[in-house]
Amino acid sequence: PRPFAYRNRLLHCDGADLTALAAEHGTPLYVYSAHQISHRFQLFAEAFASRPHTICYAVKANSSLAILRLLAKQGAGFDIVSGGELERVRKAHKAALKKVVFSGVGKQIWEIDAALNADILLFNVESEAELHLLAARAEACNKVARFALRVNPDVFAETHPYISTGLSEHKFGIDIKAARAIYHSAKKSTWLDPAGVSVHIGSQIRKVDPFSAALTRVTSLIADLRKDGHNIRYVDAGGGLGVDYGATAFDPAKQVLKYSAALTKGLGTESAHLLLEPGRFIIAQAGALLTRVLYVKKNGTKTFIITDAGMNDLIRPALYHAHHEIIPIKQPAGKSTLTADIVGPVCESGDFFARDRVLPPVKPNDLVLLLDAGAYGMSQTSNYNSRPRPAELLVDGDTTKLIRRRETMRDLLAPELL
Ligand code: LLP
């Protein structure tokens, strides 16, 4: 069941009445369901139960400390892409550091050193130059670096071009044809342990065949690497499993089973420990953004609904033309509708949540909910237009915890010097 549903005509997140939460905490407000997060994590775990695996949740999707801790307690590892994300994992659940994989095309020395000293599980190396640096830093830190090359399999995955990564025209990974020679060159350093092979082809991928294709290529590379004498123990399949942002019924249990079948098909008889890096699938539909209507206005023939949340609070529609369902917090009594653009207060025409959307009539002061905003919502917020970031709540059954307070004017100005 979806975590956000009407009860007695009022929208709730599990046991919590959103009208009351808005009154207490103000808007814009991110609200998450702890049950839904755990449920999605468990769906993933069950789908891969038949093989040794670790689910390394992609921290970038939602990096709230409370959410990282919740996932770590269920057994999650983490996929990080910066020294900042490493610090978040350390703070949320120190013991999970040993289940961290470190991805990203631009790792810096201080980040590599911090990860070496934290004894993370695996570096996903994205270039030959990075591998050389990793060897040097491993020696300097007196730590052996377990690494995988993140290969670019040249597989097309149908998604938005900004979040597709598996083609050779993208900046990500190392050409799979060049990988074998680079693994060979790593033998020169005793500080490098070629422990795995990684791949990640993009995000919000709904058709699972490209995952099979990518893993077929990775599996054949692993076979070659074993022939070359490398002790490959890990295969990292990346993240990218998509969710349904529409109003249609979506069965996440079926989707993740399809996904696991696709990976299994690509892996064939390969039995290395499987690493998975889901972000969106775990968290997108567990979260929503609650916002208040400030004004309704007409320009010519168009109607605009102006909310107190803007593109700085949820940038996905502006950046990817992403669709988010928008529903009123009071269940509409009749069938009447209006067609409007739902826009924020930011001074940009790109500051919209929906264009020409048909929705039940709303008026100033009404609350509306932007659904499926748990992934890449809060983690992509900014202070643009000097707007403080929203607060975040985690609903756990009947209790609700403030997991991030609303930013204040003091927070906003704190780093600046006059
Ligand atoms: N692993 C790596 C190496 C990644 O780059 C990503 C996402 C993931 C895992 C997690 O992918 P997921 O399971 O969440 O699809 N801001 C965009 C999405 C950017 C995805 C970046 N990489 C959005 O709002 O749609």
Which tens digits make up the pLDDT trace of 58-108?
999 999 999 999 999 999 999 999 999 999 999 999 999 999 999 999 999
**Residue 120 within any structural domain of the chain:** yes
Sign of CA dihedral 374, 375, 377, 382: positive
Kindly tell me the burial class for residue 321, based on how many C-beta atoms sit within 10 Å of its own C-beta (0-12, 13-18, 19 or more).
Answer: exposed
Compute the half-sphere exposure of residue 247: CA atoms within 13 Å on the CB side of its CA.
6
Tell me the C-alpha distance between 41 and 71, whole Å: 8
**Residue 88 within any structural domain of the chain:** yes
Q: What is the 163 CA–ligand 1 centroid distance (Å)?
A: 7
What percentage of the chain carries pLDDT values higher than 90?
93
**Residue 69 within any structural domain of the chain:** yes
Residues 378 and 330 in one domain: yes
**Residue 407 within any structural domain of the chain:** yes
- Mutation choice for ligand 1 from 107, 158, 198, 280, CB with most ligand atoms inside 8 A: 280
Residues 14 and 38 in one domain: no
Q: What is the mean pLDDT of residues 245-265?
A: 93
For the segment 276-321, what is each residue's pLDDT rounded down to a tens digit? Answer: 999 999 999 999 999 999 999 999 999 999 999 999 999 999 999 9
Q: What is the mean pLDDT of residues 110-138?
A: 98
Find the CATH number of the domain harbouring 203. 3.20.20.10
Kindly tell me the burial class for residue 53, based on how many C-beta atoms sit within 10 Å of its own C-beta (0-12, 13-18, 19 or more).
Answer: buried
Residues 94 and 214 in one domain: yes
Cβ atoms of 202 and 155 within 8 Å: the answer is no
Tokens at 91, concatenated: 């703070």
250 pLDDT band (50/70/90 cuts)? confident
Last residue of a domain, one of 264, 281, 298: 281
- What residues pair up with 303 in beta bridges, in sequence order? 298
- The two counts, helices (H) then strands (E), for the chain are 12, 21
Residues 50 and 73 in one domain: yes
246 pLDDT band (50/70/90 cuts)? confident
If one counts the domains in the chain, the total is 2
For residue 316, which atom of ligand 1 is closest to its CA?
24
Cβ atoms of 232 and 219 within 8 Å: the answer is no
Cβ atoms of 157 and 166 within 8 Å: the answer is yes
For residue 242, which atom of ligand 1 is closest to its CA?
15
Residues 78 and 149 in one domain: yes
**Residue 39 within any structural domain of the chain:** yes
Last residue of a domain, one of 234, 252, 281: 281
168 pLDDT band (50/70/90 cuts)? confident
DSSP 49: T
Residue 335's contacts (CB-CB under 8 Å, 6 or more residues apart) are: none
Q: Is 18 in the pocket of ligand 1 (CB under 6 A)?
A: no
Residues 211 and 187 in one domain: yes
Residues 233 and 299 in one domain: no
171 pLDDT band (50/70/90 cuts)? confident
Residues 81 and 104 in one domain: yes
Ligand 1: residue whose CA is nearest its atom 7: 203
**Residue 12 within any structural domain of the chain:** yes
Cβ atoms of 174 and 128 within 8 Å: the answer is yes
- Mutation choice for ligand 1 from 71, 100, 203, CB with most ligand atoms inside 8 A: 203
Last residue of a domain, one of 265, 281, 297: 281
Q: Is 64 in the pocket of ligand 1 (CB under 6 A)?
A: no
Task: From residue 333, give the alpha-carbon distance in Å to each of 4, 8, 12, 290, 330.
Answer: 18, 12, 17, 20, 9
Closest CA to 183 of 122, 154, 141, 224: 224
Res 174 pLDDT > 90: yes
**Residue 418 within any structural domain of the chain:** no
Q: Is 40 in the pocket of ligand 1 (CB under 6 A)?
A: no
166 pLDDT band (50/70/90 cuts)? confident
Closest CA to 262 of 199, 317, 207: 207
Is beta strand 100-102 parallel, antiparallel or unpaired with respect to 391-396?
unpaired
- Which residues have a catalytic role annotated? 347
Is beta strand 174-175 parallel, antiparallel or unpaired with respect to 145-152?
parallel
pLDDT for residue 111 = 98
201 in helix, strand or coil? coil
Cβ atoms of 373 and 286 within 8 Å: the answer is no
Residues 154 and 246 in one domain: yes
* Rg, the chain, Cα only: 23
pLDDT for residue 159 = 75
Q: What is the 108 CA–ligand 1 centroid distance (Å)?
A: 20
Tokens at 148, concatenated: 């995988």
Cβ atoms of 79 and 58 within 8 Å: the answer is yes
Cβ atoms of 407 and 389 within 8 Å: the answer is yes
Residue 26's contacts (CB-CB under 8 Å, 6 or more residues apart) are: 391, 406
Q: What is the 383 CA–ligand 1 centroid distance (Å)?
A: 22
Tokens at 30, concatenated: 């991110």
Q: Is 61 in the pocket of ligand 1 (CB under 6 A)?
A: yes
Residues 13 and 110 in one domain: no
pLDDT for residue 343 = 98
Res 38 pLDDT > 80: yes
Tokens at 312, concatenated: 């700085």
- Mean pLDDT across the chain, nearest whole number? 96
Find the CATH number of the domain harbouring 291. 2.40.37.10
Closest CA to 105 of 77, 64, 133: 133
Residues 19 and 135 in one domain: no
Q: Print the domain residue range for 38.
A: 34-281
Res 167 pLDDT > 90: no
**Residue 161 within any structural domain of the chain:** yes
Residues 272 and 147 in one domain: yes
For the segment 193-235, what is each residue's pLDDT rounded down to a tens digit? Answer: 999 999 999 999 999 999 999 999 999 999 999 999 999 999 9
For the segment 152-165, what is each residue's pLDDT rounded down to a tens digit? Answer: 998 888 777 776 77
